Each structure stands twice: as C-alpha cells, then as structure tokens.
Amino acid sequence: MQTALRTSLPETELASRANFAPHARIVREERQEERLAQASGLPLSIRGLRKSFGSNEVLRGIDLHIPAGQFVAIVGKSGCGKSTLLRLIAGLDKIDAGSISFGQDVQPEDIRVMFQEPRLLPWARVLANVEVGLGRDRASKDAHARAEQALTEVGLADKRDQWPSVLSGGQKQRVALGRALVSRPRVLAFDEPLGALDALTRISMQRLLERVWRDQGFTAILVTHDVSEAVALADRVLVIEEGRIAHDVVVNAARPRERGSAELAGLEGSILSHLLSADDRT
Ligand SMILES: Nc1ncnc2c1ncn2[C@@H]1O[C@H](COP(=O)(O)OP(=O)(O)O)[C@@H](O)[C@H]1O
Ligand SMILES: [Mg+2]
C-alpha cells in the first residue's frame, strides 16, 4: 500500500503558528512565502519496495532517499522496471510490499507524470489541454490565467488557440510539459519524455526541462535510456539492475553544464560500462 507518512510540522508551518508580534509575523510570513516559492519540491523515501507481475519479479527491494528538489535520472536496460518504478511513485499502480513516502500527505496535483507520447486531447485547443492539468482546480476562476502562465513558461503562449494536430512533435511535448507544470507539482516524474524527438529538438527540450526545474524547485525524476541526457540534466544517476539500484552516481558538474565536456563524457562512459557489463551477464 502506498503510504504518505505524516511527520512533525515543517519549520515554516511552526513559524506561522508561533505567537509573534504582528509586524514580525508579517515579515516572517513574507520570508516563508519566498522560501516556499524557491523550494517547492518534496523529499521522497522508498523502503523495501517490491513489485511483481505474476511470476515476474520486477522490483526486488528498492531503497532510496531523494532530498527535496533533487534532479534524479534513472537508467537501466529495457524491461528492468524503470516505468514500473515511476508508476508506483506516481500512485498509478499498487505496490506489493514496502513503502513510498513524501514526508507529508500529498494531493494528486502534487505529483505529475510526463510520458513519451504527449497524450493531448485532439478535440481541445492548446490552452484547454493545459487546463486539464489543473485537475480539481479546472473550474476555478484563475484556471485560464494559470494555464496561460504555464504556456508562457514552455514558450508557447502564441499557440494557445491552436489545435494539437497543427503542432510539431516538440511543440506537443511542450504543451504536455505545460499541462504537467500548471498545477505547480512538487514532484515531477518523466518517463522518457524526449525519446521520440529529433536530436536538436531534444537538446532544446532538455534545456527547457532544466530551466523550469531550476525556476520551480520541484523534485525531478527522469527515466531515460540516454545516458548523456542523464548526466547532462541530473544531480544523480541511478542504475537499476535485477530489480535493485545497482549504482548510485553523483553528478557534481556545475550548472549550466557544458555538453560534451570531458567531465560529463567520463561519467557517461563509466555509467555505460556498468550497463554494458550487466548486459554481458544476461
Ligand atoms: N501491467 C503489466 N503487466 C504485466 N507485466 C508488466 C506490466 N507492466 C510492466 N510489466 C513487465 O515488467 C517488466 C518491467 O517493465 P517496465 O517497468 O515497463 O520496464 P522499463 O520501463 O525499464 O523498460 C517487463 O518485463 C514488463 O513486461
Ligand atoms: Mg519504460
């Protein structure tokens, strides 16, 4: 069962409940808002996570802690359970054993997933497609304004009245990203979101992902088969092998990162050699 463990009140909440003099309280509350705006990600703790489909034991004990706001990439050979892990994190599937917790109760809007296919509604215009991401808030007065803001963030404000069918593949993925961002998620999971794009569009989308992540501070979990993409974007790369996390590689390179630098190429090479040696054993 998916658990959302309740911990003690966060510091910000405690501060807002404390009995300050009124002026001190206003200053304090403004600072809290600033901090919340800067660090909206949730931490993620996974313990002893298992998932099987019939006799196929896909995840055999995943233990992982992701600090709030970290950008984590997950790589591993096809069929190793990357999508399964994301689906469990997003609450789209049931876990067999173990737990996943975010340190507090979460709402559906707090966790969003972006897939390889944009999954846009063909009968709805771009802006309406983005509004879908608001979930229960879709009927609220500011729904249009929020969707417009999200479209601006992904650089598509001028396409708001278009039908999805006239957009390029990259533009459709931008709309899907806008739809994922519009609810201001605190955890954003990406399942090979750029896998179907051409090389140049892919690089510009990678830059966009990095920018929105830095602006909004959500916790990012990116499944990708592209190790160079993983090291370009992530703070940390996890390699899944035989149902467990076999390698946990920190990427310390400063941002913005220089693609193709010796540092990133070296990391990419060592992660690829882990993946290939796992392949040799099967
Ligand atoms: N709904 C499902 N029913 C049965 N088997 C599944 C289901 N989803 C995934 N699997 C199996 O679980 C394994 C891991 O799949 P997946 O997580 O999609 O791998 P990856 O994303 O790493 O390529 C595969 O063997 C796949 O066939
Ligand atoms: Mg997959």
- 115 falls within a domain: no
Neighbours of 11 (CB within 10 A): 10
- How far is the C-alpha of 191 from the C-alpha of 116, rounded, in Å? 6
**Residue 80 corresponds to which amino acid?**
C
Partners of 99 in beta bridges: 47
Sorting pLDDT into bands at 50, 70 and 90, what band is 155?
Answer: very high
Partners of 136 in beta bridges: none
Residue from 56, 60, 86 to probe ligand 1 pocket by mutation (most atoms less than 8 Å from CB) = 56
* pLDDT at position 137: 87
**74 and 238 in contact (C-beta within 8 Å)?**
yes
The residue whose CA has the least distance to atom 13 of ligand 1 is: 79
Residue from 58, 74, 77 to probe ligand 1 pocket by mutation (most atoms less than 8 Å from CB) = 58
* pLDDT at position 281: 64
- How far is the C-alpha of 261 from the C-alpha of 188, rounded, in Å? 27
Number of H helices, E strands in the chain: 9, 9
Q: What's the CA-to-centroid distance between 250 and ligand 2, angstroms?
A: 23
- How far is the C-alpha of 21 from the C-alpha of 9, rounded, in Å? 21
* Angle, alpha carbons 75-80-81 (nearest 5°): 90
The answer to whether residues 199 and 172 belong to one domain is no
Sorting pLDDT into bands at 50, 70 and 90, what band is 68?
Answer: very high
Q: What is the pLDDT of residues 221-244, one digit of tens each?
A: 999 999 999 999 999 999 999 999
Provide the residue range defining the domain that includes 168: 120-184
Q: Name the 3-class secondary structure at 33.
A: helix
Q: What's the CA-to-centroid distance between 26 and ligand 2, angstroms?
A: 47
Percent of the residues in the chain that have a pLDDT greater than 90, as a whole number? 76
* pLDDT at position 160: 97
* pLDDT at position 221: 98
**Residue 41 corresponds to which amino acid?**
G
* pLDDT at position 17: 32
The residue whose CA has the least distance to atom 10 of ligand 1 is: 53
- 253 falls within a domain: yes
Reported in sequence order, the residue ranges of 132-281 that DSSP labels E, i.e. its strands, are 187-191, 219-223, 236-241, 244-250
Sorting pLDDT into bands at 50, 70 and 90, what band is 180?
Answer: very high
Average pLDDT value for residue range 206-221? 95
**243 and 59 in contact (C-beta within 8 Å)?**
yes
* pLDDT at position 136: 85
Average pLDDT value for residue range 72-92? 96
- 228 falls within a domain: yes
Res. 12: pLDDT tops 60: no
- 73 falls within a domain: yes
The answer to whether residues 97 and 216 belong to one domain is yes
The torsion angles phi and psi of 49, rounded to 5 degrees, stand at -75, 130
Q: What's the CA-to-centroid distance between 179 and ligand 1, angstroms?
A: 26
The torsion angles phi and psi of 227, rounded to 5 degrees, stand at -65, -30
The more confident residue out of 192 and 15 is 192
Q: What's the CA-to-centroid distance between 81 and ligand 1, angstroms?
A: 6
- 4 falls within a domain: yes
Count of domains for the chain: 3
The residue whose CA has the least distance to atom 26 of ligand 1 is: 79
The answer to whether residues 63 and 196 belong to one domain is yes
* pLDDT at position 282: 61
The answer to whether residues 281 and 192 belong to one domain is yes
* pLDDT at position 67: 97
Average pLDDT value for residue range 111-135? 95
The answer to whether residues 147 and 257 belong to one domain is no
Of 191, 251, 185, the residue nearest 219 (C-alpha): 185
Pocket of ligand 1 (CB under 6 A): 53, 56, 58, 76, 78-84
Tell me the whole-structure pTM to 2 decimals.
Answer: 0.85
Task: Tell me the ligand closest to 76's alpha carbon.
Answer: 1
- How far is the C-alpha of 223 from the C-alpha of 95, rounded, in Å? 19
The answer to whether residues 125 and 25 belong to one domain is no
Of 196, 188, 120, 195, the residue nearest 156 (C-alpha): 120
In ligand 1, the atom with minimum distance to the C-alpha of 93 is 1
Token pair, residue 281, equals 């054993």
- 114 falls within a domain: no
Q: What's the CA-to-centroid distance between 116 and ligand 2, angstroms?
A: 9
The residue whose CA has the least distance to atom 24 of ligand 1 is: 79
**72 and 238 in contact (C-beta within 8 Å)?**
yes
**157 and 169 in contact (C-beta within 8 Å)?**
no
Q: What's the CA-to-centroid distance between 119 and ligand 1, angstroms?
A: 20
* pLDDT at position 279: 67
Q: What's the CA-to-centroid distance between 72 and ligand 1, angstroms?
A: 21
Of 48, 185, 58, the residue nearest 114 (C-alpha): 185
